[in-house]
Amino acid sequence: MLTVNNKSSVTYQHSPVSEPVPYLAVPASGVANHTLTLEDVWKRLMRQKWTLLLTALSILLLTAYITWTTPPSYRAGATIQIEKEGVQVVNFGTLNSAAPDMGEQDPFFRTQYEQLKSRKLATQVIADLDLKSRLFERPEPFSLLTSFKVILKGLFSSLFPAQQGTGLLKSADYATDFSQKLYVEPIEKTHLVKVFFESPDPVLSADIVNALINAFIKDNISSQSETDTYAKAFLEQEMEKARQRLTLQEAKQIEYAKQNGILEVNNSQSSQERKLDELYSALGEAERARIQAESQMIQGRKRSNAREVINNPMLEGIKQNLSTLEAEYQDKLKQFKPAFPDMVSLRERIEELRRQLNSETGRIRQSLQADDSSARRADFLSAKKLEDDLRVQVDAYKGELVALRDSSIEYNALKREVETSRNLYDGLLQRMKEVSVASNVTSSNIRVVDAAAPDDNIFRPKKALNLILGGLVGLMLGVGAALLRETLSQSISSVTELQALSGLPVLGTIPHVRHLSESNLALATVRDAGSLLAESYRVMTANLRFVLPGGCAPRVTLITSVNPAEGKSTSAVNIALSQAQQGLKVLLVDADLRRPSVHTKLGLPNARGLSNFLNGEVDIASVTHPSREVKGLYLITAGSLIASDPVRMVSSPAMAQLLNLATKHFDSIIIDGPPTAGFADAIYLSSMAEATVIVADEDRINRKRLVTAIEQLRRVRQNVVGFLMVKSQEETIDYRYHDRYQTRIPSKPAASSAAKAKGKRKGLNLSPAL
């Protein structure tokens, strides 16, 4: 513990010179994560405001020049209506039916829009209106866009010389240029379409639109005619195929009828069926006659019993059932063959009834046999024989009918094929007649609603809109260029970003002051003690007093910078003056032997100084000078040997001896060292200091250089305690509150300060004047 003022109880603790100073480490990557805020972006833009303004103004001027030198173009438009079907003159012969309307996404309408923009129509209109000479090859007035197009065409011709000179390529280029100036705009929720064309001549624009629509309508009608022609050719081919097929099938039918002896299957079947019905009727009559004869024969012997037999309900019921089943069998026989399961079952039932009838009749016959006479028996036998003969005939005709039906199956199949082919041929013939009539009727599904008319109003360029867009684009490009330049410049836009990048605190922020001479700037703490600049240096001095662990002040402080001319010498002088004003005994050493400036700022001679002492020419006392500005401040200038080897001098034992001796007699030693970029002097001086402060100019901070400098210093000794930001755009002390809340400090030190200096403990007298 060293007592500074015997009359004061204020004491300061100092760390040994050799004790390392722990602090935050520099990020390994060299750049710490920092979230950009809107304020940071705004500051970056303000740092590059001239880049932003020049870029925006250049784009705006370029837009204005292009706008005013571009030849005016005029736009003409027409409206047409497109329907899926044209006017129906006849209601037959339609080749395809219209699909339901699906709205704006209907493929039919989208196809029509694309056909309007087709290369085929463009080529036709170019040829009809001679647009090659009237539009595409007409001389254009000079403009920046015209020059640019000429350059591109020349470049294209040099890259692809083989393709030049062909008429096909030029025609394709004309059609492409035509399509680029054509606009097709469907009107929502309608079948109306607006067609526009843009050219330098309003009359030509209208003519082109009208010609394009007429060509589109003619092409549509021509497409319909081609469809009709194709349909007729197709129908003729199909009719010929149908005729040949019909002829072949008719020949097969006739040949089959000849081979099977069939004249007409349907007529033969009808006659056979009628004859079979007659046989069944005769058989029924014979059965009734036989039954009647049999009953009369029975009556001869037992008339009463015979009457009962004739009127027997059982026999009557059996006969009725038998007649019903036989009639049903004959009806079904017209549709089914005898082998059909239902027919077999029906025939079995008929046979069962007949057995029952015969059994019952036999039983009655036996009962009446004794009384039957010979005559009645003869009648009975005759009726019985007739019935048997008729039954044989019925069975024979049934067999013939079944055989006839079997042969008619193939015949009917051939007949149906012939009828089908004949119907197809008749239908094709009728369709051919209808298409022939419909193809002669020309109707289009496209109607012109409003024809194009010349419009004298300039469509392009739109000057006001172009200027607005140019201004917006220029502003956006300017912002992008400013941010890009700010990013590439590796600069730091704020104190927060500097602290985040380095991991070190900013001990003071010195505002950017203009219109001050170098000497007034270096002595601002004394000559303008009430200014914001002086107050900022006092804040820096206060922070430096408590920068070491435990709140101690460093005895030896190196003031350095990354780049030359960043304000480190001015800052070193003002810090030393501020400490001396606080009653400390301070030694300011100008150790920048490459480009010293402390003697210039303070108006001192530099005949002898630190370099002369380190070279062994003079002693310490002869190079130590008291300050004329503040009592308690002593100075050692750089000396006259600045051209010698500065690294050898500052790394010599004499430099360490000077600092060790000074720490015994001074409260604070401020070393103004050289910059760290490319020089080893600062590294040696930092190894001898307890604290190293880096002065950084906000406009000249480079991320890579800054991180490299901190890493170099920390490899020697961990004593880099923070930054002093000079020329800062961030005013850490508000002018309004600073000027309002203080009493103006006089330019010269007060008498009380001198009295305090007299009461201060005397240090080692290194100056002859002392």
173 part of a folded domain: yes
Which of residues 404, 434, 460 is at a domain's end? 460
Q: Peptide bond before 461: cis, by omega within 30 degrees of 0?
A: yes
CATH number of the domain residue 690 falls in: 3.40.50.300
Same domain membership, residue 395 and residue 330: yes
The CA distance from 584 to 601, in Å, is 21
Same domain membership, residue 618 and residue 505: yes
Same domain membership, residue 563 and residue 446: no
Same domain membership, residue 521 and residue 561: yes
Same domain membership, residue 701 and residue 569: yes
pTM above 0.75, yes or no: no
Judged by average pLDDT, the poorest of 264-273, 519-528, 590-599, 666-675 is 264-273
Q: What is the pLDDT of residue 765?
A: 46
Judged by average pLDDT, the poorest of 161-165, 493-497, 597-601, 635-639 is 161-165
Kindly state the percentage of the chain with pLDDT values over 70. 71
Structure token digits, residue 303: 């008339």
Q: Has residue 587 got a pLDDT over 90?
A: yes
Please, which pLDDT band fits residue 373 given cuts at 50, 70 and 90? Answer: low
Per residue in 263-286, pLDDT (tens digit) is 554 544 566 667 767 777 877 787
CB 590, CB 596: distance < 8 Å: yes
Task: Check residues 644 and 76 and name the one with the higher pLDDT.
Answer: 76
Same domain membership, residue 347 and residue 286: yes
Which domain covers residue 674, as residue numbers? Answer: 495-758
What one-character DSSP code corresponds to residue 555?
A: S
What does the mean pLDDT of the chain come to? 76
Judged by average pLDDT, the poorest of 435-449, 457-471, 622-636, 696-710 is 435-449
Please, which pLDDT band fits residue 615 given cuts at 50, 70 and 90? Answer: confident
Among residues 211, 250, 244, the alpha carbon closest in space to that of 130 is found at: 211
State how beta strands 458-460 and 691-697 pair: unpaired
Among residues 695, 688, 660, 735, the alpha carbon closest in space to that of 544 is found at: 695
CATH number of the domain residue 185 falls in: 3.30.1890
490 part of a folded domain: no
Q: What is the pLDDT of residue 309?
A: 56
Per residue in 42-84, pLDDT (tens digit) is 877 887 889 999 999 999 999 998 888 888 889 999 999 988 7
Please, which pLDDT band fits residue 210 given cuts at 50, 70 and 90? Answer: very high
Q: What average pLDDT does range 85-109 have in this prediction?
A: 59
31-34: Cβ within 8 A, 24+ apart: 31/501, 31/703, 31/707, 32/500, 32/501, 32/502, 32/503, 33/500, 34/496, 34/497, 34/500, 34/501
Same domain membership, residue 308 and residue 456: no
436 part of a folded domain: no
Same domain membership, residue 385 and residue 275: yes
Total tally of structural domains belonging to the chain: 3
Q: What average pLDDT does range 460-486 have in this prediction?
A: 90
Same domain membership, residue 408 and residue 303: yes
CA dihedral (572, 577, 580, 582) in degrees, to 10, reads: -110
Among residues 722, 648, 708, 642, the alpha carbon closest in space to that of 681 is found at: 648
